Every structure is written in C-alpha cells, then in structure tokens.
Amino acid sequence: MKYIYIKTWGCQMNEYDSSMIVKSLEKNNEYLITENVEKASILILNTCSIREKAQEKVFHQLGRWRKLKKNNPEIIIAVGGCVATQEGKEIFKRANYVDIVFGTQTLHRLPKMISEVKKNRKYFIDISFPKLEKFNYSLQPKKTGCTAFISIMEGCNKYCSFCVVPYTRGNEISRPCDDILFEISILAKKGVREINLLGQNVNAYQGPTFNGQICYFSELIRLVAEIEGIDRIRFTTSNPLEFTDDIIEVYRDTPKLVSFLHLPVQSGSNKILSLMKRSYTIEDYQFIIEKLISARPDIQISSDFIVGFPGESEIDFQKTIMFIKKINFDMSFSFIYSNRPGTPASEIKDNINLKEKKKRLYILQNIINIQTMMWSRKMFGSTQSVLVEGISNMNVMELYGRTENNRIVTFTGKSSMIGQFVNLKITKIHTHSLKGELI
C-alpha cells in the first residue's frame, strides 16, 4: 500500500478540499493517508494565498520536500490550492522537481494527473475553472466526528480591492440544493449532529433544485434543519451585502441555527470601506445587526478587521475602535493589511509604517479580548447546551465540547457522551475556554 501526505494551509474551504482529495485518492488509487512525510510516495501541498508572502512560504516548504525527492526520485510532488491557481507554470520554473500543479476547481482530476505523471514522467498542470464539476465526483463522506463542514458554494463576485479570492476561486457558483441535502443526510446517519455550511460568500447561495427552481440561502437553512439528526447549524463566511431580511427571518423561526454569527465588516470607517470596495456603509452594517438582535435577542457577533489599509488615518482607525465598542463584538479575526499582487489595493500608496500598523493591531485586539472576556463572564453560572466533541487535549480525564456561541468547555464525564448534547453549568471562566459541570 502506498501513502499520501497532505499539508493544508488556509481556511475551512481548503480543509474541506483536502478531505475531498484524500477520499478520491484513497478510492481510485488505493492510497492511504499518513502523517509521516518520509513514508509517503505522494506529497501534496494545498495552499492559501490570502496572506502576504504566501508564495515564498510555498517555495520554502517545497525546498524541504526536494531533499526527500532527491533520495527517492519516484516521489510525486503536487501543489494545489490558491497559490497554485495564482502562480501556475511559475511554480515549475522555480521548483522544477514539482510534478503536478492543480487548481481549486480541478482537485478531482488529481488521480488522473498522477497516473499521467507515472506514465509519461513529465510535469502536469491543470488550473482551469470547470465550475462545480469537482462536486460531481464527491464520494460518500466519511464520519469525521459529530461536526462536519459542507461546501455549498464557491467563488466570489464582489472583487474587494484587497482580495485575491475572485482570481483564485473564480466567480460565485452554487451547488445543487439536492446534492447538499443528500450529503448532509448521509452524515446525519453516521452520527453528525452539527453542520457548518461553507462558502466564500455563503449567504449569496442560489442553488438549482430538481424541478428547475432556485433555492436561496434562507430556504436551504430551513431544509437542513428538517434533516433528522441535525440539531445545530452554523455557516461561514457571510457578506453584509447579501445579509437580506429573509435570512434574518430564519433566526426568528429556526432555533437550530445558532445564536452566533461571524459577519466580516473589515473597518469602522466609511472612507476605508469605500477604498476597500466593500459596497456598504457602517450604517448599513449596523442596521443589519439591529434587525438581527430584534429577531434573536441573545445573538453574539464576531467579525473580521483589516488594520493599516492604505489611506487609513488615525481618525479612521479610531472610528473602527468606536464601532467595535458600539456593536460589542464578541470575537474577531484581525490582521495587518497584506498587499496582494494583482489586486487594485496594491496600486494604492501605503502611507503607514509597519510599527504603526502593529501598534494599531495590538490596540484593536486588546479591546476585542476584553469584550470576549466580558461575554464569557456573562455565562458564569448559566446552563449551556454543549455538543461533546471528544477527550480534552489538556486533561485526558476530561471531555470537551462547544457551546452554541462557539466557546470550548471542558468537564468531567463519560466517553459515551461523545457525539451527544449535554447540559452543563458553567463554573469557571478562563481566557480561551470555560469549565463546566454536568447537570
């Protein structure tokens, strides 16, 4: 039996893609996954290009693998994901020992590419965009625990000035509704209790149905909620532009949808939002939050922030800080602006030095951390429904699970509880987790 080693960088979509790669290779080529890189005959790097210097990170990793191939020329090295789509043949020019370059929409063709390389011993590249063809090759999903990610759409039509996703993932395309429901039904029968719907702009979903109609995102959530065994629904990542009233109504009438939302805003300054080409204002965003709270009073909001975007003044930054306090965000993913070649923002003069960017990021993250702790303290003494995911990494005598608002809770319990919902009383508050007792 031959072995695959796969290294994945990036978002949940990349993780989902890697699981598809593994399943297709295990089925078609009779390979097995291994965590020992020196044992593998196929090395796969699934890449992400969101952050700065992503390409250099890729070539540094390939340089380490080059030594393995030098000792065993039969090893096949494949590079996929967003950097592969972005760089294409340049990867072969800089690393001529790479055998395969495949794109975000051609990963299902990898078994055939491997066969071609073995047969002809020359490099192979396919970074085309055959829409959602890859999902036609989806295999029945394996049980991966009590939670699962399901990709429902790919790509982005927004073309924000700082983002490479439309260039590496293509335009928005939605999977057929019935395919998604079938995949989730299989997972539910295998014991999955929580589903996380994935997409670059997940709330822009408009999938075809069997009768030629269009299923919108709000309707899809309600249909998933009807699947027996699925008791909790999440989604990521959404865009304020398409957070329409019909989606807000789902929060009013579908209790299986969690009271926790990640809704990226990126900046609290309308001037910066305009430079980012986000196509909404702070007032638009706040109006969405107000309607959400009306529909689901206990909802908690997390967001994304980019600090030090070209043109961001101290006043713009302070507007972001004030907005964070006003909305009272629970958590955030926050980063220093990363110049991505080929994006419109890369043409804007960067007027902020790195020291100032780091200072602003520290201030922003410190405020978010304070707010996160405040939200956690509100949970002290409360009863929380927790989906038990497994044995705690910190203490093998304890289990851990996740609350509806995405908090990790550790507690003492029986292994038979794994995969089930339990009610816990929150007894301790830690910086990054909670402690609970069974009720």
Q: What is the pLDDT of residues 382-428, one digit of tens each?
A: 999 999 999 998 899 999 999 999 999 999 999 999 999 999 999 99
Question: Which contacts of 12-16 are long-range, i.e. CB under 8 A and separated by 24 or more positions?
Answer: 12/149, 12/196, 12/198, 12/236, 13/151, 13/154, 13/198, 13/199, 13/200, 14/46, 14/47, 14/48, 14/81, 14/82, 15/149, 16/149, 16/150, 16/151, 16/198
Contacts of 308 (CB under 8 A, 6+ apart): 336, 337, 352, 356, 357, 360, 361
pTM of the model: 0.86
- The residues, any chain, with a CB within 8 Å of residue 371's CB and separated by 6 or more, are 324, 325, 328, 329, 330
CB 57 within 8 A of CB 82: no
Q: Which of 81-90, 177-186, 196-205, 415-424 has the lowest mean pLDDT?
A: 81-90
Measured between its terminal Cα atoms, the distance across the chain in Å is 48
Let me know if 148 is exposed, middle or buried by CB neighbors in 10 A (0-12, 13-18, 19+): buried
Which residues does the annotation place in the binding site for [4Fe-4S] cluster?
11, 48, 82, 156, 160, 163
Q: How confident is the model at residue 142 (pLDDT cuts 50, 70, 90)?
A: low
Neighbours of 274 (CB within 10 A): 15
For 330-389, what is each residue's pLDDT tens digit?
A: 999 999 998 887 899 989 988 899 999 999 999 999 999 999 999 999 999 999 999 999
Binding site residues, as ranges? 11, 48, 82, 156, 160, 163
Number of Cα atoms under 13 Å in the Cβ half of residue 317: 21
137 pLDDT band, cuts 50/70/90, is low
In this structure, are residues 422 and 404 in contact, taking their beta carbons and an 8 Å threshold? no
pLDDT of the residue at 29:
61
